[in-house]
Amino acid sequence: MTAPIALIDCNNYYVSCERAFDARLVGVPVIVLSNNDGCAIARSAEAKALGIKMGDPIHHLRDKVRVHGIRVLSSNYTLYGDMQRRVVAACEAFARDFEIYSIDETFLDLSGFEDRDLVAHSRAMREQVRLWTTIPTCVGIAETKTLAKLANAVAKKDRRFDGVADLRDDDARHDVMQAFPVENVWGVGGATARKLNALGIETAGALRDMPMKQARAVGTVVLERLVAELRGVPSNAVEKVEPQRKGMAVTRSFGTPVTTFDSMMGALSQYAMRAGEKLRQHGLVAARLTTFFHTNRHKPERPQYAGSRTIVLHPMTNDSLELIAAARRGAERAWRDGYAYTKAGIMLDDLVASDMRPRTLFEGDADKRDRLMDALDQINGRFGKWTAVTASQGFRREWKLRSEMRSPAWTTSLAEVPTVSAL
């Protein structure tokens, strides 16, 4: 008997976080926009009922927003990240181990809890989360992560389950899988779904019953493992320790298109600065930095250009000033005049823990630089992001992104904590 796995998933997470601090958002349609206020990335149940889809561009929704009085918010990742810690803390006593899978989903290893009524156990956990954060959740229980995902999806959609679905039993999951569209299975995207449909495979049940060899031919080892998971054979473990990350990126769309090299370097310097901060937070150094920028791909009638260059960082580094210098070298090589750039970014690859990095003969004043970076992080951490900047970041920042409807930092900034008055 394999250990039970649960997936707890927050409902309409970003909207639920916003509602935790603004009761006026409860019971009305609400959407939260992507960075740069571009498209809808979270919708309340009321907004979903109005036909608003994930990723709908806001400028296509103006009429609906007006007619139905939809509340529109910019995203507030500081708030959502902080609320996530609280959600996970509320679950802590209910599982032996965890894998935080995304900002609103956590896999739980329930081994050691098998002798309990796991549905009641999960209900108690949901209640705890709701009590500490007000956030509504659903829970799926099964023998593998893929089945727990599926269980979670039906717990959310099918009212009979009332928010908690336990599909460990073969009989319990048979009917559910026969009715579950194959394109909604975790790991089956558009391309794979089309291939499977062409073979007459349209449900999770049919995918489970597909021959392994055929699965491999259609979707490589990835699909083969997925089929095993649907059969209740784990091939994707709950990762209890956070795996070493392999790359990281800081990329943004611009509020206004960028046409000059100096302005582009302003943005790239800012991203490289942030990338350095992220590396240092995680105790990592990078071996390669890629700079890229491109024009608006949604406007094929305009002149298009996409440039990118990769610079090898030798020695490996997490020094923001060196990252900026590398970003500049890459940008100089990739730059073309005469285009309106709408997005740019920095990607770092081949990350290694900084105490494991190979030493070289030419490191010079590495310690001094480390202390400078420490000081920079502390100043900006304490007094705000834009306190200490490099000259290349510039001061005009016409490229900075739009975020016109962002809620306050309710939980992470003393200046913005909510005030409550009692009469």
Q: Which residues bind DNA (CB under 7 A)?
A: 34-36, 38-39, 41, 55, 57-59, 101-105, 149, 185-193, 220-222, 243, 245-253, 257, 278, 296, 298-299, 310, 342-343, 345, 401
Closest CB to DNA among residues 128, 146? 146
C-alpha 81/C-alpha 103 separation (Å) is 7
Closest CB to DNA among residues 189, 303? 189
Query: How do 30-33 and 71-73 pair as beta strands?
Result: parallel
In angstroms, what is the minimal distance from the CB of 253 to DNA?
4
C-alpha 388/C-alpha 270 separation (Å) is 11
Closest CB to DNA among residues 36, 133? 36
Closest CB to DNA among residues 72, 121? 72
Closest CB to DNA among residues 121, 225? 225
DSSP string of 99-140, one letter each residue: EEEETTEEEEE-TT-TTS-HHHHHHHHHHHHHHHH---EEEE
For the chain, the distance separating the N- and C-terminal CA atoms, rounded to the nearest angstrom, is: 57
C-alpha 318/C-alpha 185 separation (Å) is 39
In angstroms, what is the minimal distance from the CB of 102 to DNA?
3
Closest CB to DNA among residues 69, 243? 243
In angstroms, what is the minimal distance from the CB of 310 to DNA?
6
Q: Could you give the C-alpha distances from 307 to 164, 293, 334, 337, 344, in angstroms and in order?
A: 48, 6, 5, 11, 9
In angstroms, what is the minimal distance from the CB of 152 to DNA?
9
In angstroms, what is the minimal distance from the CB of 104 to DNA?
5
Long-range contacts made by residues 42-48, C-beta under 8 angstroms, separation at least 24? 42/12, 42/13, 42/14, 42/15, 42/75, 43/12, 43/15, 44/12, 44/15, 44/19, 45/11, 45/12, 47/15
Among 237, 4, 1, CA closest to 143: 4
Closest CB to DNA among residues 121, 341? 341
Residue 323, both tokens: 């990252």
Residue 84: in which H helix or E strand, if any?
Answer: helix 77-91
Closest CB to DNA among residues 117, 158? 158
Query: Buried b vs exposed e over 298-309: b needs ≥16 C-beta within 10 Å?
Result: eeeeeeeeebbb
In angstroms, what is the minimal distance from the CB of 93 to DNA?
24
Residue 249: in which H helix or E strand, if any?
Answer: strand 247-258
Q: Could you give the C-alpha distances from 27 to 9, 16, 124, 410, 418, in angstroms and in order?
A: 20, 11, 25, 21, 21
In angstroms, what is the minimal distance from the CB of 62 to DNA?
7
In angstroms, what is the minimal distance from the CB of 171 to DNA?
26
In angstroms, what is the minimal distance from the CB of 192 to DNA?
3
Closest CB to DNA among residues 126, 252? 252
Distance of CA 402 to the CA centre of its chain: 19
